[in-house]
Amino acid sequence: MAITLSASDSALAEAPRPARLTPPQVWGVVMLAPYILVFLAFVVYPVGYGLWLARDPASYVALFNDPIFARAAVNTLIFLLVGINLKMLIALFLSGFFVQQRGWIKWLSVIFILPWAVPSIPTILSVRFMLNPEWGVVNQLIFKFTGEDGPNWLNDPTVALGMAIGMHIWKSLPFWTLILMTGRLAISQDLFEAAEVDGATWMQKFRYITWPSMQTLYITCTLLSMIWTLGDFNSVYLLTGGGPADLTHVLSTLGIRYLRLDQLSLAMASIVCAMPLVLPLVYFMMKRLSR
d(CA 93, CA 100): 12
CA–CA distances in Å: residue 185 to residues 50, 95, 179, 210, 218: 45, 10, 10, 10, 14
Verify binding: residue 94, other proteins, rule CB under 8 A.
Answer: yes
Kindly state the smallest distance separating residue 12's Cβ from other proteins, in Å: 9
Verify binding: residue 45, other proteins, rule CB under 8 A.
Answer: yes
Kindly state the smallest distance separating residue 64's Cβ from other proteins, in Å: 19
Among 100, 146, 189, 201, binds other proteins (CB under 8 A): 100
Verify binding: residue 4, other proteins, rule CB under 8 A.
Answer: yes
d(CA 5, CA 162): 38
CB 130 within 8 A of CB 137: yes
**Which part of the chain contacts other proteins (CB under 8 A), choosing from 68-76, 157-165, 204-212, 259-267?**
259-267
Kindly state the smallest distance separating residue 126's Cβ from other proteins, in Å: 4
As to burial, measured by CB atoms within 10 angstroms (0-12 exposed, 13-18 middle, 19+ buried), residue 13 is exposed
CB 251 within 8 A of CB 277: yes
Verify binding: residue 273, other proteins, rule CB under 8 A.
Answer: no
d(CA 275, CA 281): 10
Binding to other proteins (CB under 8 A) within 110-169 occurs at 110-127, 129-130, 135, 137, 140-141, 144
Verify binding: residue 42, other proteins, rule CB under 8 A.
Answer: yes
Of 117 and 197, nearer to other proteins (C-beta) is 117
Verify binding: residue 256, other proteins, rule CB under 8 A.
Answer: yes
Binding to other proteins (CB under 8 A) within 173-212 occurs at 174, 178-179, 182-183
SS3 category, 45: helix
The half-sphere exposure of 103 on its side-chain side, counting CA atoms within 13 A, is 0
d(CA 72, CA 230): 12
Verify binding: residue 2, other proteins, rule CB under 8 A.
Answer: no
d(CA 13, CA 189): 53
Kindly state the smallest distance separating residue 89's Cβ from other proteins, in Å: 14
Among 232, 240, 242, 246, binds other proteins (CB under 8 A): 232
Kindly state the smallest distance separating residue 256's Cβ from other proteins, in Å: 7
